């Protein structure tokens, strides 16, 4: 029976050690489980905060989307006004082009009229020059005639004096 007692003692010793290790393991596992429970509670609290933050972000995004939509509408309105302004600018440019064409046509007409007037003025100047030459020639002839008339008058006066002397002597 010694063997059985030894067996019993050995068994009690091994089972005791296993029980002690199990108790320690159980205490460790229990501590770890409590730590995990705390961690899970902390994670749950954080998840709640994250979910709240996500809700707030969604609301903010929806608000931003609404504002973006409003801005897009305003941009569309501005683009329409820009298009209308561009159309008016194009129409104004067309009118300016037409006016420029008309101005160019008038320039050509004015150039032609100026050229014709210049030709007429040149012709008139030639006629004036010819008339001036003729008048100068006539003036020269008139001066010559006047000189000759003075000579003739002088000769006539002398002839009359001579005749008076001749008649007075006779």
Helix (H, G, I), strand (E, B) or coil at 8: helix
Q: Is the pLDDT of residue 44 over 80?
A: yes
Length of the chain: 170
pLDDT confidence of residue 107: 96
Q: Residues near 45 by Cβ (< 8 Å), separated by ≥ 6?
A: none
Task: Look at residue 117 in the predicted model and tell me its pLDDT.
Answer: 95
> Taking all residues of the chain, what is their mean pLDDT, rounded to a whole number?
90
Rounded to whole angstroms, the Cα distance separating 83 from 113 reads 44
pLDDT at 80: 97
Say yes or no to pLDDT of 18 above 90. no
- Tokens representing 79? 């683009």
Tell me, what's the pLDDT at 45?
87
68 — pLDDT class (breaks 50, 70, 90): very high
State the pTM of this model.
0.45
Question: Residue 1 — very low, low, confident or very high, per pLDDT cuts 50/70/90?
Answer: low
Per-residue CA distances from 27 to 23, 58, 61, 97, 103 (Å): 6, 45, 49, 98, 107
Model confidence pLDDT, tens digit, residues 79-93 = 999 999 999 999 999
> 161 falls in which pLDDT band (50, 70, 90)?
confident
The two tokens of residue 68 are 């973006």
- Ramachandran angles phi, psi of 18, nearest 5°: -65, -45
pLDDT higher than threshold 80 for residue 3: no
pLDDT (0 to 100) of residue 170:
64
Q: How confident is the model at residue 129 (pLDDT cuts 50, 70, 90)?
A: very high
Task: Give CA–CA dist 161/115, Å, rounded.
Answer: 67
Q: pLDDT for 91-112, tens place per residue?
A: 999 999 999 999 999 999 999 9
């Amino acid at each position: 029976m010694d063997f059985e007692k030894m067996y019993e003692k050995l068994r009690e010793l091994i089972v005791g050690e296993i029980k002690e290790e199990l108790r320690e393991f159980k205490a460790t596992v229990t501590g770890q489980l409590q730590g995990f429970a705390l961690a899970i509670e902390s994670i749950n609290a954080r998840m709640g905060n994250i979910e709240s933050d996500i809700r707030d972000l969604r609301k903010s995004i929806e608000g931003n989307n609404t504002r973006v939509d409003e801005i897009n509408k305003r941009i569309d309105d501005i683009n329409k006004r820009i298009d209308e302004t561009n159309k008016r600018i194009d129409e104004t440019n067309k009118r300016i082009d037409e006016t420029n064409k008309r101005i160019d046509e008038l320039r050509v007409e004015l150039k032609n009229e100026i050229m014709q007037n210049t030709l007429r003025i040149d012709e008139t100047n030639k006629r004036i020059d010819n008339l001036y030459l003729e008048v100068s020639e006539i003036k020269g002839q008139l001066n010559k005639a006047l000189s000759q008339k003075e000579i003739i008058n002088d000769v006539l006066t002398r002839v009359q004096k001579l005749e008076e002397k001749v008649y007075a002597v006779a």
